[in-house]
Structure 1
C-alpha cells in the first residue's frame, strides 16, 4: 500500500492523468447520471463526493458479464490509485474479490449507487507510473470510477448509499448515454421564477403543481394548479382546496396573476367509495387549454377529484371536465370559461390499473383527421376485489380516441393495458406537441426520487411517429446547466418553440425546506440531425 489511509474525511480526491491504451474503451466523467457501462442504461444516481468529477472508463456491460472481455490497459503518468467499483452480490456475473490475487483495499463501502445493479463498494488498486493491465484475467463485471494521485490522504468510510436494484434501470439521461442528445440544455433561471411571497401568490400556501403554459403572440399564458389550502390548516390540505389560476408573462420569467379560472370546494368525502353523495369537485387539477380551430375558441380540460381524509391517495376517482371560453378567437384564452360537462370518468370501461386515482389527467392532440388523448391512472388495484381501499403503486397512461375535441372519447383497446414502452412504472401529466419534422413529442413528469419512490427525478420526453406508439423515455438533467434549487423535480408545463430551434420549458418542482412549491424555467436547443435520426429509427 503506497497511499495514506486516514480516518478523517477528505472530500477532494485529486485526479491523476492517464490514457487508455489501444482499445475502444471510452471514458466518462464520474458524476450523477453518468452511464458507467457502454451500450447500457445503467447510470449513477448516488455518488460519494470524493469521486465527483473524476474520469472513469466505460466497461462493455455484456462482454464483462459473459466473460469475453478484452483487456483494459491504462498508461499512468505518475504513481496512481485506480478506483474500481465492486458489486456486493455473490454472482458469477460480478467480479468477486474474495480469495483473489488482486491486492485491493476497501475505501468506500456503499460508495456508489448504479441503477438496476447491486450496492457498490469502491476499492483502491495501487500502480507505479507506466502501462498496466487493470485486473487481468478477472471474471465478472466491475466499474472503473476514476484514477487518483497516490500522494494524498484517502479516507476510508461507509457512504451508506442504497442498493441500485431499488431503481429501474430503464431510463436514458440526455447527454450521459452513448446516444447523442436530441436537446441540449442551454441555460435558464438559476432560481424560481415564481416563489413564496411573489406578487400574486397571496393565499397560495402550497405553491404550484401541473397545468399548461401556451404562448399567444408575444404573451405566455400559464394555468397552474394553485395549492391554496387554508390558513391554520396543515400542509396536507394544500392538495385539496385548490384553484386554477391564470398568469401571464412576456418573458416566461416575470409573471402576473390575472384571475382565478376555477375553484375547488375542499369538501371531504363522507363515504370510502365512488359515491354521488361525495363532492366530486373537492380538488381541481391539471388544467389543459387547447384551441379549437373548428369552433374558433379555447377549450379547457381539467381534472376534478373526490377527496378522503384517511385513505391514500386522498385524491380519488378523478373525472375529466371540458369547459369553453365565452370569448371567441385566439385572444379569448383569458376566458371566462363555462363548464360543458364530463368527458371521461370511472365506469364500466375502467380497468384496475387506473386505480383509486384514475382518471388522473387528460391531454388531447390531433393525429390526421382524428384525436387521441393521454389519460392516466394511479394507485392501481391488483383486481377489482381490491376496490375501493386496497391500492398499490404505479402511475400509468393510456390512450383514448375521438373524432372531435368535444368527444365522445373511447378508451383504446378498452383500456386493458397502459402504455409501458415509455417507462414501466411512472409517467404523469403528458403534454403532446410536434417537432419540425412531424415527430410527436410528449413531455411529462418522470417521477420523484423522494418519498420512497426510486424514480428518475427529472422531466422526460417520449417520441412517436404516428401519435399512437411511443418510444422509451429520455430525461433532462437540467441541473447540469442551471443551479439546482429543488429537491424533487415535478411537472413540465410546456415545450414552446421560440425560433432558431430554441424551446422554453416552464416547470414545477419542490424544495423540501419549504411548504411552497415553486415554478422554474429552462431553455433547450433542438439538434435537428438527431431529430432526423430518431425519425428513421422509429417504426
Structure 2
C-alpha cells in the first residue's frame, strides 16, 4: 500500500472515530436520566413524565413533546388555579438521599401567573432549554438544583412544573432541545387515561403493523392507499368500504386524492382482508371554472362511503361524497355533494351490492352557510334518534362571508346536523345557536360515525386532526358523547400508540366502533407514514368501562 493510501485511510479512520464519539455523546445526552425516589408530604398526585401526561390537577394541559432525558421520571401534579393566583401552600418533598430536583419554568416573563425564575439562585443550573411542549402554555426551560436535606419545601409563587427527581450523582448535560411553543396547541384537550378523570376506553391490543398494506393482494393499482369510509359487521364477516386513493401510474401523488375508488373488502378477523369489488370509480377530471359550475364534472373525486342498513326497506343504503376538483385552488376538493344509493339485492346480506344511485340528498345551495366553505358539503352520516333521523354533515375551508366566495377560504373543519323523517330524506339543515357544533372541538371534527353504547348514550367517533402539515392538533382518534343525539360533549382522544406500536406519523380517520361482546370494540383506522406514498389501514381493540359510561350519563343529565 502506498504512503498516500495509508495517509488517506488514517484520516478516514480518524473521521469515523470522531463521528462515532459524537454519536455516543449525543446518545448519552438524549438517554433518560435515572430517577431518585421521593415522597410527597402534601396530598398532591404524581404523574409519569411522558407524552400526553396532564401536568396540573384541574386542567387539560398535557405534554405533547418532551426531551428524551425527561422520559419516565415522576412529576408532581400541582393544582393549577391556586398556583396561578399565588394562593398555594408550599409543596413539600421528602428524600432518602441527596438528589437533584428538576423544575420546568415558563419562559414568558413578567406574567404574574408564572413563577419568575431569576439568575441569582446559585444552586440552580439551566440544563434544558425549550425542553417540553405543553398544550396552551409558553415554552419551558428546565432547571436542576441540588438538595442535600431530607426534606425540601417549595416556597415558589406562580405556576411551574416539578418534572422529576434524579440522583445527585446523575450527570446532567446542558443543551437546547428546541421543542416548539405549546401555545401553538390551542385549545387544550383531554387524553384518555392521562387526565384526572377515568378513561371510558382502555386500549387492550391490536395489530402492531398495518392490516392492509402496500403489496398485499387487492392493493394493485391503489398507489396512495386509503382514507375514510366505514366498516360494518354482518354476522361473522367485516365489510370495509374505504376510499381508495388510486391515482394514475406516472402521475404525481397529489392526483391520488382525485382519481379515487370506493372499494369493498371483507375479513373474518379485521386483520386479513380480501378485496371483493369496486363500488364506485371517480372520473378524476379537473374543473374548468373556479366556481360551482355545472360545466365542471361534479363527480371528479368520490370519498367517504357510509353503508347504513334500512330495516324498513330491508336493504342497504349507501351515502357518499362526490367533489368538483380544481387543479390549482386550495382545497382541490370543492363543492361536495352527498349522494344516496341502494343495494339492488334485498336483505342484510345484500351489503356487497351492486348499488344504484337514487340522487343527491344534500349539496351547496341557497340554504348553505359560509362556514361550510369551499369544500362543503364534505361528509354525511345518518343515525336514528327516536322516530326521526339526524345526520352529521360537514364543511371545511370556511368563508368569512359570501363575499369571499369562491376562492378566499380560511381554515377550519366543522360539523353540524341535518334532520329528516326518513333515511330517504328530504334532509333539512338545522340552523340554531349550536351551528356549527363547536362543543366537540372549536375548529376540527372530521368524518364522525355514530352508534349507541349499552346504556343508550350516543357516541360519535371521528378524526381528531393531524399534528402535521402545519397543524397542531391532537393527532389521535377522538370520540364525543351525547344523551339526546343532538347536543354533543367535549371530545376525548384515544392514545392507541401507548399500547400498539406506532407505525404512523399522522393518525387519520376511524372507520368503525364495532361491539364484539364482553365490552370489547374493534376500531379500524386509516393513518399515514410520511415517508411513503401509500397510506395503510390499521386495527386496534378497546374495552369499555361500564362504570365510567354510567358516570358520563349522569354528568350529561
How many residue pairs end up in the alignment?
A: 531
1:499 to 501, 509, 517: 517
> SS at the partner of 1:84?
strand
2:85 to 41, 53, 66: 66
2:358 to 340, 343, 347: 340
The aligned runs of 1:43-192 (5 Å cut-off) are 43-90=62-109, 91-98=111-118, 101=121, 103-134=123-154, 136=155, 138-192=156-210
2:225 to 207, 214, 237: 207
Greater Cα offset, 153-162 or 328-337: 153-162
Tell me the residue number matched to 1:38.
Answer: 57
Deviation track 1:5-50 (CA, whole Å, cap 9, x = no partner) reads x9972423111111101x2200000000000000100000011000
Report if aligned partners of 2:54, 2:194 keep a CA contact under 8 Å in 1: yes
> Shift of residue 139 of structure 1?
1.7
Matched, 1:9 2:29: yes
Q: C-alpha root-mean-square deviation of aligned residues, in Å?
A: 1.2
Tell me the residue number matched to 2:299.
Answer: 281
Structure 2: runs of 5 or more not aligned? 1-24
> SS at the partner of 2:382?
strand
Q: C-alpha distance in 2, partners of 1:84/1:349?
A: 54
Q: 1:416 to 1:359 in 2, by over 3 A?
A: farther
> Shift of residue 168 of structure 1?
1.6
Tell me the residue number matched to 2:39.
Answer: 19
Report if aligned partners of 2:62, 2:188 keep a CA contact under 8 Å in 1: no
Tell me the residue number matched to 1:3.
Answer: none
> SS at the partner of 1:154?
coil
Q: C-alpha distance in 1, partners of 2:545/2:131?
A: 35
Tell me the residue number matched to 1:470.
Answer: 488
Report if aligned partners of 2:61, 2:136 keep a CA contact under 8 Å in 1: yes
> Shift of residue 77 of structure 1?
2.0
TM-score (normalizing by structure 2): 0.94
Structure 1: runs of 5 or more not aligned? 1-5
Q: 1:285 to 1:415 in 2, by over 3 A?
A: farther
Report if aligned partners of 1:351, 1:416 keep a CA contact under 8 Å in 2: no
Q: 1:156 to 1:340 in 2, by over 3 A?
A: same
Higher-Rg structure is: 2
Greater Cα offset, 418-427 or 9-18: 9-18
> SS at the partner of 1:19?
strand
Determine which structure has the larger helix proportion and give its number: 2
Report if aligned partners of 2:32, 2:72 keep a CA contact under 8 Å in 1: no
> SS at the partner of 1:523?
strand
> Shift of residue 129 of structure 1?
4.7
Deviation track 1:38-77 (CA, whole Å, cap 9, x = no partner) reads 0100000011000011110001110100111111111122
The aligned runs of 1:240-319 (5 Å cut-off) are 240-319=258-337
Report if aligned partners of 1:399, 1:411 keep a CA contact under 8 Å in 2: yes
Q: C-alpha distance in 2, partners of 1:108/1:420?
A: 37
Q: C-alpha distance in 2, partners of 1:232/1:265?
A: 17
Report if aligned partners of 1:349, 1:415 keep a CA contact under 8 Å in 2: no
